[in-house]
Amino acid sequence: MFMGEFQHNIDTKGRIIVPAKFRSELGENFVVTRGLDKCLFAYPMEEWKLLEEKLKKLPLTKKDARAFTRFFFSGAVECEVDKQGRINIPQPLRKYADLEKECAVIGVSNRVEFWANDSWEEYFNDSEDSFGEIAENLLDFDI
């Protein structure tokens, strides 16, 4: 399980350090793709394969299913951690998530998320204000 929040800078070549705490669980190779809320999602290969199987079951006849699958898979890249513990995030993904300098790398259960620090702070502050309401809306899920 991934949890925690770390601050790292992305360099001009698009390289960012993956926190050591996450590297062991992500493995040597893992998948990074466009996430929701203008961040990037990173999945260990085993988790990616499970997600891929679920998405394959979506009906091709549904416009939303096609759109989500295209969005999710077209941005996906396999990443490998270098000797310094960094990955290279391709330009289209950096542009999508506005990753330019300061980044937040957070653990979210089965995935890691990469956020532009300003976007993460804004999202966190907005969500923090309504955290009680969000929790109340999830009561049906026995949280």
Taking 60 as the threshold, does the pLDDT of residue 143 lie above it?
no
Decide if 51 contacts 35 (C-beta within 8 A): no
Q: What is the β-pairing status of strands 102-109 and 111-116?
A: antiparallel
User: For helices 45-56 and 63-74, what crossing angle results, to 10°?
Assistant: 160
Mean pLDDT, range 15-44, rounded to an integer: 96
Phi, psi of 31 (to 5 degrees): -110, 135
CATH class of 2-116: alpha beta
Whole-structure pTM value: 0.92
pLDDT score of 130 more than 90: no
Let me know: does 86 contact 18? Beta carbons within 8 Å: yes
Secondary structure (DSSP) of 77-103 = EEEE--TTSEEE--HHHHHHHT-SSEE
Model pLDDT for residues 69-116, shown as the tens digit of each residue: 999 999 999 999 999 999 999 999 999 999 999 999 999 999 999 999
Strand partners for 43:
31
Quick one: pLDDT band at residue 126, thresholds 50, 70, 90?
Answer: confident
